[in-house]
Structure 1
Amino acid sequence: MIKGLYEAHLPVSDLNKSIEFYEGLGLKFDHKVEDRLAFLWIVKDQSWVGLWKTDKVEVEYHPSIRHIAFEVSLDGLKNSVNWLTNKGYKPRKAFGFEPTEPFVMPNPNEGFGHAKIHFNDPDGNSLEFICKIGNPNNLTEKMYLSEWEKLNGLTK
Structure 2
Amino acid sequence: MIKGLYEAHLPVSDLNRSIEFYTDLGLELDHTVENRLAFLWIEKDKSWLGLWKSDRVELEYHPSIRHIAFQVSLQGLKESVTWLKNKGYKPREAFGFKPVEPFVMPHEDYAHAKIHFNDPDGNSLEFICKIDNPKNITDRMYLSEWEEINK
Task: Give the TM-score taking structure 2 as reference length.
Answer: 0.99
User: Counterpart amino acid of 1:7?
Assistant: E
Q: Alpha-carbon deviations, 1:61-102, whole Å to 9, x = none?
A: 000000000000000000000000001110000000000000
User: Counterpart amino acid of 2:127?
Assistant: F
- Aligned-residue CA RMSD in angstroms? 0.5
Whether 1:144 and 2:147 are equivalent positions in the alignment is no
Deviation at 1:32, TM superposition (A): 0.3
Residue of structure 1 in register with 2:96 after alignment? 96
User: Counterpart amino acid of 1:148?
Assistant: W
Task: Give the TM-score taking structure 1 as reference length.
Answer: 0.96
Matched residue of 2:38: which SS?
strand
Whether 1:32 and 2:32 are equivalent positions in the alignment is yes
Q: CA–CA distance in 2 between the matches of 1:126 and 1:50?
A: 15
Moved over 3 A (4+): none
* Superposition pairs of residues 112-131 of structure 1, within 5 angstroms: 112-131=110-129
Q: CA–CA distance in 2 between the matches of 1:79 and 1:112?
A: 21
Matched residue of 1:70: which SS?
strand
Deviation at 1:150, TM superposition (A): 1.0
* Superposition pairs of residues 47-62 of structure 1, within 5 angstroms: 47-62=47-62
Q: CA–CA distance in 1 between the matches of 2:135 and 2:150?
A: 6
Residue of structure 1 in register with 2:5 after alignment? 5
Matched residue of 1:65: which SS?
coil
Residue of structure 2 in register with 1:18 after alignment? 18
Q: Percent identity?
A: 77
Matched residue of 1:75: which SS?
helix
Deviation at 1:134, TM superposition (A): 1.1
Count of aligned residue pairs for this structure pair: 151
Q: Alpha-carbon deviations, 1:23-52, whole Å to 9, x = none?
A: 000000000000110000000000000000
User: Counterpart amino acid of 1:141?
Assistant: D
Q: CA–CA distance in 1 between the matches of 2:10 and 2:63?
A: 11
Matched residue of 2:57: which SS?
helix
Gapped runs of 5+ residues in structure 2? none
Q: CA–CA distance in 2 between the matches of 1:8 and 1:145?
A: 28
Gapped runs of 5+ residues in structure 1? none
Q: Alpha-carbon deviations, 1:116-151, whole Å to 9, x = none?
A: 000000000000000001111100010000101111
Residue of structure 2 in register with 1:135 after alignment? 133
Q: CA–CA distance in 2 between the matches of 1:100 and 1:61?
A: 23
